[in-house]
Amino acid sequence: MRRFAYIIAAFTAAVLCFGAARPASGEESVAAYGCEIASSAQSMALIDGDTGDLLFFKNCDARREPASTTKICTAITVLEHCTNLDLPMPIPDEAIGVEGSSLYLERGEMLSVRDLLYGLMLQSGNDCAVALAVIVGDSVDGFVKLMNETAEKAGATDTNFVNPHGLHHNEHYTTAHDLCKISYYAMQNETFREIVATKRHKTPYHNHEYCRNFPNKNKILYNYFGGNGIKTGYTRASGRCLVSSATRDGKTYICTVLNCGDMWEESMRLLDKAFSR
């Protein structure tokens, strides 16, 4: 009888613990479903890339500047609003000479939306971001409205974009968890997955005999087994940022680290932790 009573008590304790670990209503933080862990990132979230479930986190609901990881939302917004990716388009004047990382687009040049997307996600071209915004949204402001609608569809409820490239703006913010949600949403798109997993791409170069030939800046593709995305980011205000993904044996995880000095090493450590579960 004493042994039976012990089993009952243990079972009751386990049930109470499970109930305490999961929110009783939708009003409580979704972070309660995951496990808070130590990280060198100021904010971090890692999700199951097949279900979207949050697994590990640290300050994942803190608002932060995302820098060029903004372009994840830019790219999927373009893909959802453009029906012909291969039609050559004139580069808008607004995209000439945009500060920061660039594909060095030229006035009078014509490129397809697809090539601009590769320039956006591999080379992190801020000029590509502006060009795509004007081509797809008729204006940067019009496109940013579409971006915020995309973020809302992805379930990113604490995100506000004011530009398509991620350059500093006080009202441009998201969270580590929201970036994971947007990335999970974007990775459902086959063309998006293909672009962010590409290691090198060539595009035409106006008035030059040779093509632009540029590598993907995401070292996860080269240095991590199964690495297949997604996007880097950096400004002085944001610090070093990375959204990474990897697939092994049919299992995918997506990891976001924001303001993380050792973003490559930390992202790989967190992905290793997920794959070893």
Q: What amino acid positions are annotated as catalytic residues?
A: 68, 71, 124
* Residues 235 and 65 sit within 8 Å (Cβ to Cβ): yes
Q: Hunting for tokens 């004011």 — which residue is that? A: 162
Give backbone dihedrals phi and psi of 140, rounded to 5 degrees, phi first. -60, -45
Q: What sign does the dihedral 73-78-79-85 (CA atoms) show? A: negative
Q: Hunting for tokens 């304790």 — which residue is that? A: 13
